[in-house]
Structure 1
Amino acid sequence: MARTAIIFHGTGGNPDVCWYRWLAGRLEARGYAVEVPHHPGINNEPIATFLPKVLNAHSFDGDTVLVGHSGGAALLLALLEHVGVTVAQAILVAGYCTRPNTSEEPVLQESYDWAAIRSHVRDISFINSREDPYGCDERQGRAMFERLGGTQIVRDDGHFGDYDQPYERFELLDRLIP
């Protein structure tokens, strides 16, 4: 049975921006079945109604690898809390667990069951930048790391892909996923 990787884009994004398709190709070459779904409701629809749609749209098991970018990383927190299985790995890129700026963040829950999240992922990593233009910075990564453990990686690399930051490849992510 093939390992599955699911790559969740960020707010206002889609599967064809920045490094998503590149990473998918790299993982497919290693035998992964890769999904790069388009979920336009990420951070637009309230998490209480959006999350069940995401949970029903995908299958998760002990070999699943989850990658989320920005709003997609914030989505992973809710997903991991409610998924009901323990996945192999989750990587949150430019993720956050509290409002990183003055924008509304419907992807965030009011609170999190950190123990449930921790019990539903074997290996979790947080990649944040000190110079993230949206506030999805190393302090956000540290807040999640302190509650969940895992690995925190801090770079000076903006938002790791944005409308004004081409980011076609993400070698670090490729190396983090076995």
Structure 2
Amino acid sequence: MTNKKVILVHGWGGNPKNAWFPWLKTELEKLGDEVIVPAMPNSSEPDVSFWVEYLSGISNSIDENTYFVGHSIGCLTIIKYLESLSKNVKIGGVIFVAGFFTLQNLKTDEELEIAKPWLNLKIDFERVKNHTINFFALFSDNDPDVPIENVKFFEEKLGARVLIQNGKGHFSEDDGVFEIPIVLEELSKG
């Protein structure tokens, strides 16, 4: 079996050492997979074009053995990155953890201003799906930031298989989530 290249993209305010990223990286490396966990630029004020450009710079030489795992805003980064690829590029798949197209509970005008460009993205979903048909989206039934109706967007727009877990919040350190076994299990299928 060929080893995978797995690229993990953290979310808004995150970094490679947050929550479940170190655990997943360690587990995948035990399996012989190459794991890349970039520190996305200016994560406290994420910018769509900068994040997609940055991901492009570290995601060269991707193929059917390349998988992406995104958390929160990292999911939209991956989607926009896939949309930017030339048509003939194929990847193994994508796992979205607490991904969104809509948000709730933005607390300040500053948060709203940061989120607005992400929430108003125009996405060519057919172009995104051209690169893989293997999408898996993981949600929590009590995510304070991501409304549960995002489930249907991932199902309808990307044909993603979806799982809703109980009581995982936003799958963050604050929610006590330091391991997500289903993500490892899904990557092991690929």
TM-score, reference length from structure 2: 0.84
Give the letter aligned to residue 15 of structure 2.
N
Q: Verify: 1:151 aligned to 2:152, yes or no.
A: no
1:96 match: 100
Give the letter aligned to residue 55 of structure 1.
S
Q: Count residues in correspondence.
A: 176
Q: Distance in 2 between matches of 1:83 and 1:48?
A: 14
CA contact (8 A) 2:104 2:144 kept: no
Cα deviation per residue 1:100-121 (whole Å; 9 max; x = unaligned)? 4543324455211010111112
CA contact (8 A) 2:63 2:90 kept: yes
1:13 match: 14
Give the letter aligned to residue 158 of structure 1.
G
Q: Verify: 1:33 aligned to 2:43, yes or no.
A: no
Q: Distance in 2 between matches of 1:145 and 1:119?
A: 16
Q: CA deviation at 1:50?
A: 3.2
Q: Verify: 1:74 aligned to 2:76, yes or no.
A: yes
When the two chains are superposed, the root-mean-square deviation of aligned CA atoms in Å is 1.9
TM-score, reference length from structure 1: 0.89
Unaligned runs of 5+ in 2: 107-111
Of structures 1 and 2, the larger Rg is shown by 2
With 63-72 and 33-42 compared, the bigger mean Cα shift is at: 33-42
CA contact (8 A) 1:87 1:122 kept: no
Cα deviation per residue 1:105-158 (whole Å; 9 max; x = unaligned)? 244552110101111123101111121011x23311221211110301111221
Q: Distance in 2 between matches of 1:97 and 1:25?
A: 30
More helix by share: 2
CA contact (8 A) 1:94 1:137 kept: no
Q: Calculate percent identity across the aligned residue pairs.
A: 27
1:138 match: 148
CA contact (8 A) 1:86 1:121 kept: yes
Q: Verify: 1:117 aligned to 2:100, yes or no.
A: no
Provide closer, same or farther for how the CA distance between residues 165 and 8 of structure 1 changes in structure 2, counting only shifts above 3 A: same
Q: Distance in 1 between matches of 2:175 and 2:46?
A: 26
CA contact (8 A) 2:40 2:51 kept: no
1:172 match: 182
Q: CA deviation at 1:2?
A: 3.9
